[in-house]
Structure 1
Amino acid sequence: MSDTIYDNVIWTETEGMKRKRVEMTVAIYESADHVRVHDFRTETNTHQPLQHTGSDSVKIRSSRAAAVRLVLLCVLLLTAVIVLCVQIHSKNTNYTEEKEELLNKITNLTEEREHLLITINDYKTEKYQLVIQNNNLTIEKKDLLSKHDIVMKQREQLQQENNDLWKRLHEVGGCFYYQSSLYFISLEKKSWTESRQDCKARGADLITINNSEEQGLVTKMSFGTSAWIGLTDSDVEGTWKWVDGSTLASGFWWSGEPNGHRRENCVMSYASRWYDYPCNDAFKWICEKNVLK
């Protein structure tokens, strides 16, 4: 029972203390509010500085410092924002320029690609045309080779027939016509003087050779044997003249000929070359008659 009473007393005391504290707190707040209102009114009405206590001065300084710090923080934040915006703008500008350069490069590369494609197509067209031309030329080449083979075979056949004809002519003797002249090769052998007399009896004279073609003709007619021609230096030693009286300009002498022997005054042809021999030696002979005279 005593304990219960004691507890009630303690609880009552506790509640009383709480109430006192609450009342004291309310009184303090009311006093502070009264002071603030009074100070504000006094400052508004008198426009004179107020006298503050030490705690109020500390609070004011703290408030001002906080405000200054806040302003500085805002300035720094604004500066950072401006710098960031400038950097972003600069980067965007650079990116825009790089983008334009890349677009220009892409455009140029595209144009170059188109030109290259056109060039490649032109080359392909030229290649196709060249292939066609090459095929045509190959066909023409084959045709020409075939014709050449045919012509060569015909030529060989004609050459063989010509050789057979010259051989028969050499064996039997006879006349043939070449460039306005008739030619005759003998079957027997006589001296140079006797050979010329035989030609004159036929209305001709010993052959006069004026060029390499006529020399080739003599070579064919003689067919590997020696034959007198109409060249001699019997009148003046070393001065070679044809039977028509013309002086020799150039000849087809063999190496070392003429050798200058006094007795060797007449010329015979053998194997496409000339030799000077004694006129009394016996060889076949070739006569020539110009049919236009």
Structure 2
Amino acid sequence: MTTGEELPCAHFTVDKQNIALWPREPPTKRDQPLALRKPSTICVVLTFLTLVLVTSILLQSILYSWLLGTISNVRTNAQLLKGRVDNISTGSSEIKRNRGGLKVASTQIQKVNVSLNQVRSQLLILETGLEKANSQIQVLTRSWAEVDVLNAQIPELKRDLDKASALNAKVRGLQNSLENMDKSLRQQNDILQMLSQGWKYFKGNFYYFSHVSKTWYSAQQFCTSRNSHLTSVTSENEQEFLYKTAGGGVYWIGLTKAGSEGDWYWADNTPFNKVQSARFWIPGEPNNVGSNEHCANIKITSLRSWNDASCDISLLFICKKPYIPSES
């Protein structure tokens, strides 16, 4: 190529997205217009602009496809976001509904915490009790060991106990004997004191045989002043003691009645045995002479010695009181 020769210009055609670029056959000299006969610089500029335009079209085509994909992705993401927002709204409603349940659950949890604290306190108490129980178990274990030792000694202790029991029996016998002796001595002392005062003793009772005569009522007052009563008679032995001690003298006894039609009774409130007492009356007595014989006396020395008489006559009398042991 010579320097004086012109460079061929680029020729292109655009059909939608297809671009064709090729060198144009050089025109014949007669076909070239004058306007196109310019320096090679213009061809370079045109070529550059053509490249820029082609590049722009390519970029727009590529960016259009990318934008379409991006818009589709944006729409998809928007739908996903809308679904999430709906889910969030639904969750918010659920949260609002569950808020009350959470408050109730919180209250229940507080109660459970209180109960747990109480359980902890009880557990502490139980632990303390277990420690004490363990200590006691240890003490009991030692005690059982001591018990085993004592069990080995039981036969010997039993023999000693038998000996001690025999000795205790002898001691109790001696104590009973001493108590009986002491009781007998006190009784004898009491009897001696009463005998020194003119009383006589017979089977647990003291009897006073007077030396002066009184009416039946005056005699009862005298006996009462000495913590006694005119004597009652409750057995054949007592009747025999009285008439023998009276020695044939006439003595008032405590038997009386209220009026002619009244029943006989004892002044010391001893129950009157009518059947038994029938053996002690003198035959034919009581006869209530003059309807005025309302008091009884011992008249003769005999088992059948009772006689009824007027309570106003003066006779000797017999007082009676039971023996009461003095305090030691």
Fold shared per TM-score above 0.5: no
- The higher radius of gyration belongs to 2
| TM-score normalised by structure 1 residue count | 0.39
| TM-score normalised by structure 2 residue count | 0.35
Task: Write 1 or 2 for the structure with the bigger share of helix.
Answer: 1
